Amino acid sequence: MQKLGLNVIVYSLTTIALFYVCFPFAWLMMTSVKPSSLIFRPDVLIFTPRMDSWIAVLFNSGVPGYALNSIIVGVVTVIISIGVGCPAAYSFSRFKTGGNKLRLVILSAEMIPPAILIVPLFLLAYKFRILDSIWALIAAHTTFIVPIITWFLIGFFEEVPKELEEQAMVDGLTRLKAFLWVVFPNIRPGLAAAAVFGFILSWNDTFYALMLTGGHSKTLPVAIAGYWTFRGVEISKMAVAMLLSVIPALTAMVFVQKHFIRGLGSQGIKG
Amino acid sequence: MAKIVLEDISKFFGNNQVLKNINLEISDSSITVLVGPSGCGKTTTLRIISGLESASSGKIFIGERNVSRMDPKDRNVAMVFQNYALYPHLNVRDNINFGLRAKKVKIDEINRKVANVVDFLGIKELLSRYPSQLSGGQQQRVAIGRAIVRNPDVFLFDEPLSNLDAKLRIEMRTELLRLHKHLKKTAVYVTHDQEDAMSMGDTIIVMQKGEIIQMGTPQQIYQNPSNMFVAGFVGSPSMNLVKGTITNNLFTADYNTFSIHVNGDYGDVYLGIRPENIILKHAVQRQIVTESFKAEVEMSQMLGSKLIVNLRIKGLIIKALFDEQYFDEISIGNQVEVVFDRSKLHYFEEKNNNRINISL
């Protein structure tokens, strides 16, 4: 009886949480296909769906191009971040570089509010003539994604026993080759999770994108914000663009969530 | 030839000196065991031989080559770690041939060498498995196979038996000795278990706090320990050490517990007597023995065909090892009369713990 009561409570709370999480997506979906006269009628659940907004956004607007910008920025940022973060994490893990303090210091970049960092970034982008280009955005994104990915990967490296690469070095490899042949294959799940996580952070960024990009270098979040015009909010089209921005990130997280949680959790235990 | 010579090897980790002027020579084709408690420097010594650690000062020679500054990959040594360090992402075949592939050996030769090794070790049926699918004993065989296939000059084993249960441990000792007999290569083992050391080594090196305390054959180490640390560390159950004084040809244990006639006058000393050298008076055969002492049986533990017995002589508790035939008379609370085998008594100076050689 007690177990039944507990189950009822657990399932009830889960249902409420699910509703809380899913409702915005359901509302977005409905808004994207509702006739404009019914958009502000949330009580109306039965209607004839219209694909006008989807057609307008996908085929008659710059949103696909801006989405491509987001993809390019995300991918390049992740490549740079992994390229820098991976050896850094290896160094922290194997050589205890800087002790525990340096590990915490690398996260300090996360603590600086973007509103402060944007000033020097903007000036640097202007100086290097990369304002209103994806390169300015990539540079800005690496400021917060490199530390996160480094921190994330330290835990995965520490799960690989150092005896494995020592064995490889005795077996005939240099340390670099031991890293590539032995350590790297064993952290592939962690790398994939880190890459997806970094991509999602970059994909979702609105602030730096608003500040550093403008015309053709806009990204998807900026494009979404662009539907809020002085003439009014194009809610239906905005909903379509929002769904376009959410679905890829959500799908990716479903596949890597296990490794993502492992990466965050292991650092907490090891300290 | 692949003898190993360490000359004046010292190692510092920060300000902490973990090895202090180690000088040793390991003969070609011999099995040498480095044994000692945790933190004594035995694993660091092994790692310095392998090249995984660099010495702070000193030289290392393998054969005629000075390998002091060489990378591990160039020293032609093979190492088996305590946890075997099998590559989890590779199957057994690829684990074994890893070193050969690293050296870019031709595929035909790789296949031939791997086939020979797996036949010798009896692990042919495991080739397609992954390390997670192997038992502890199988993992160890694969790790050994990976070492053998490279035909190194020296084998280095870091606590090879520590991860095995007691029964498998004894089996693997025999297995490793058989292997060594077949391969005839220089081997260095590190262990904290003195039983493993005594059963496997041609030469035992006992280490403590970064120094070599004694080096010798198992028999020399067991029968003539050079100081109290070696005496107490080697042997199971460990040697009884009784504090007392030798004055006017008489050893008297503290609190006048018992006395033994002995030549000399050495002041404060420790008397060492191994449990198996304490004999029931009526069981003496041809040994030269000391005076007899009355003792009370305080506790006994059955070990198959032997009994470990705690004897109380006045206020002193010592451990004795008796044969099971005396089980009936060794009951708790019983009084027994015991003697010590005089030829097996050891004396150590109290001030520096060093052995005193006293004639019978």
Could you report the per-residue pLDDT of A177-232, keeping only the tens digit for each? Answer: 999 999 999 998 889 889 988 999 999 999 999 999 877 888 999 989 888 888 78
CB-CB under 8 Å, B85 with A163: yes
pLDDT at residue A270, rounded to an integer: 37
Label the pairing between strands B293-303 and B335-340: antiparallel
Per-residue HEC secondary structure of chain A comes to: CHHHHHHHHHHHHHHHHHHHHHHHHHHHHHHHHCCHHHCCCCCCCCCCCCCHHHHHHHHCCCHHHHHHHHHHHHHHHHHHHHHHHHHHHHHHHHHCCCHHHHHHHCCHHHHCCHHHHHHHHHHHHHHCCCCCCHHHHHHHHHHHHHHHHHHHHHHHHHHCCHHHHHHHHHHCCCHHHHHHHHHHHHCHHHHHHHHHHHHHHHHHCCHHHHHHCCCCCCCHHHHHHCCEECCEECHHHHHHHHHHHHHHHHHHHHHHHHHHHHHHHHHHHHC
**Chain B residue with minimum CA distance to A188:** B89
How far apart CA B91 and CA A21 sit, in angstroms, is 44
Domains of chain A, start order: 1-50 (no CATH), 51-270 (1.10.3720.10)
Show residues of chain A in contact with B52, CB under 8 Å.
Answer: 166, 169-170
Tell me if B4-233 shares its fold with B240-356.
no
CB B62 within 8 A of CB B154: yes
Per-residue pLDDT for A51 more than 60? Answer: yes
CB-CB under 8 Å, A177 with B146: no
- Segments making up each domain of chain B, as ranges: 4-233, 240-356
CB-CB under 8 Å, A173 with B81: no
Question: At A264, is the pLDDT very low, low, confident or very high (cuts 50, 70, 90)?
Answer: low
Across chain A, what does the average pLDDT equal?
A: 87
Show residues of chain A in contact with B50, CB under 8 Å.
Answer: 170
CB-CB under 8 Å, B83 with A169: no
Could you report the per-residue pLDDT of A151-172, keeping only the tens digit for each? Answer: 889 989 999 999 999 999 999 9
Does B137 contact chain A (CB < 8 Å)?
A: no
pLDDT at residue A271, rounded to an integer: 35
Could you report the per-residue pLDDT of A67-126, keeping only the tens digit for each? Answer: 999 999 999 999 999 999 999 999 999 988 887 778 778 878 778 888 888 999 999 999
Which residues, other chains included, contact A171 with Cβ-Cβ below 8 Å and sequence gap of 6+? B73, B78, B98, B99, B102, B146, B150
Per-residue pLDDT for A266 more than 60? Answer: no
Q: Among 3.30.70.360, 2.60.40.10, 2.40.50.100, 1.20.1250.20, what is the CATH number of B240-356?
A: 2.40.50.100
ipTM: 0.84
How far apart CA B237 and CA B224 sit, in angstroms, is 17
Does B154 contact chain A (CB < 8 Å)?
A: no
Question: At A48, is the pLDDT very low, low, confident or very high (cuts 50, 70, 90)?
Answer: confident
Q: Sign of torsion, CA B282 B288 B291 B296? A: negative
Which mean pLDDT values do the consecutive 10-residue runs of chain B (360 residues) have? Answer: 91 94 94 93 96 95 94 94 92 95 93 93 93 91 93 92 82 85 91 87 93 95 94 91 94 91 92 94 88 90 88 92 85 90 94 88
CB-CB under 8 Å, B52 with A170: yes
Report chain A residues touching chain B, CB-CB < 8 A: 161, 163-164, 166-174, 177, 181-182, 185-186
Return the higher-pLDDT residue of B203 and A246: B203
Task: Please state the CATH superfamily assignment of the domain spanning residues B4-233 in this structure.
Answer: P-loop containing nucleotide triphosphate hydrolases (3.40.50.300)
- Work out the number of other CB atoms within 10 angstroms of the CB of residue B92: 27
pLDDT at residue A265, rounded to an integer: 61
